[in-house]
Amino acid sequence: MAHLDRAVAEEQDARDPLAFARERFSVPEGLIYLDGNSLGALPSGVRAAVLDAVERQWGQDLIGSWNGNGWWTLPERVGDRIGALVGAAPGQVLCGDSTSVQLFQALTAAARLRPDRRTLLTDAANFPTDQYLSDAVGRLLGLEVRRVDPADLEVGPDVAVVTLSAVDYRTGRLWDLEAITRQVHAAGAVVVWDLCHAAGVLPVDLDGLGADAAVGCTYKYLNGGPGAPAWLYLARRHQRAADLPLTGWMGRADPFGLAGAYTPAEGMARARIGTPPVLSMVAVEAALEVWDGVDPAAVRAKSLALGELLITLADGLRAHGLTVVTPREGRHRGSQVSLRHARAYELSQALIARGVVGDFRAPDLLRLGLAPLYLSYTDVWDAMHALEEILTTKEHEAPQYRRSQTSVVT
């Protein structure tokens, strides 16, 4: 490993303006958690919030909680709180339902904004759900779906929608949202951004970009918990014209009128579908409190610094067959570093056995997520020191770390 003393990481921790935020999370003692890009750590305030929702709100107030405890307004209220983190003015983000549902909503509505165009472009390396749903929307609306490389993006006159992830989930590469949005608009098309690996670690400015639509989850860097609901951004200028495919009763102009025909509500309320997952949304709302007093610019600066430290340490392990896949230049890097190794799965398992939790992506990537609010520089140094010891001693070649046909890889 590169000759970088642990004292360097300790000095960085001593100067860290975000060090206070670590106390807002319940991270198990002795665990180095580098998988926040799959599931964020538990914010300390979530437990009490969910317990109150169960015992007092549900247990005592029962149905009166829809009004008395604000259950009805959770989708808009949580949506606006998320919107503040992604550069969206109030009234443009709604929280509820899964990422898949929100992406289906966004893609279908976006394509219907350009009814005379018959092509949808998606990233050939996009997360599988994004590709599957692009194909499904293509079948539904009779669109040709083409897979492209964002680095060589060409938007022709027949393209209705371009849908890309801001950050490549495998490599951590960050695309130029501003340049791509400008290119798509210049061609007369609509862009739908997937911000699952961006929200909470990147200073995204959806309004400033002039973005059309975006979706994102809340269980990664927003720390909303397993299966937490996703969110949908729809620019105000598109809301009245948006023809959303899922028209549930809560999205109607007068939901309690219980009319047989659908008339959409004004604004983002039309994106409501059915009853929201209240307990999960209470957890998300409480989780978002960790952002109180946090400077997003400081989050990005620490994310980049953590990444630079990890990359420097990884470069010292090249003799062991380890290479850095993630772009080194900060403007092209999200908040994870992916390392390539022929035995990446076995390395991930050996690290977990040592209390260092990252994850694996087939066929040969070790992904290390960098969540700046609860990760320290010494965490990164210690994790890479553990990796060096594993590689040096060939610990990962032990039989118990081999991947079997029944292994579950998350």
222 within 8 A of 200, measured Cβ to Cβ: yes
User: Among 114, 173, 220, 272, which one carries the catalytic annotation?
Assistant: 220
* Catalytic, out of 35, 97, 123, 194: 194
Tell me the helix, strand and coil percentages in the chain, rounded to 5: 45, 15, 40
Closest CA to 409 of 352, 355, 370: 352
Q: At what angle do helices 344-353 and 377-393 cross, to 10 degrees?
A: 120
256 catalytic per annotation: no
Beta bridge partners of 366: 339, 360
Active-site residue, 394 included:
no
302 catalytic per annotation:
no
Q: Which of 114, 252, 270, 367 is catalytic?
A: 367
Asked whether the beta carbons of 219 and 226 are under 8 A apart, the reply is yes
Q: At 305, which helix (H) or strand (E)? A: helix 296-315
d(CA 72, CA 56): 17
Strands 359-361 and 365-369: antiparallel
Report whether 171 contacts 197 (CB < 8 A). Answer: no
Contact 209, 177 (CB under 8 A): yes
Active site residue 219: yes
Residue of 219, 345, 360, 377 marked active site: 219
Catalytic residues: 127, 194, 219-220, 367
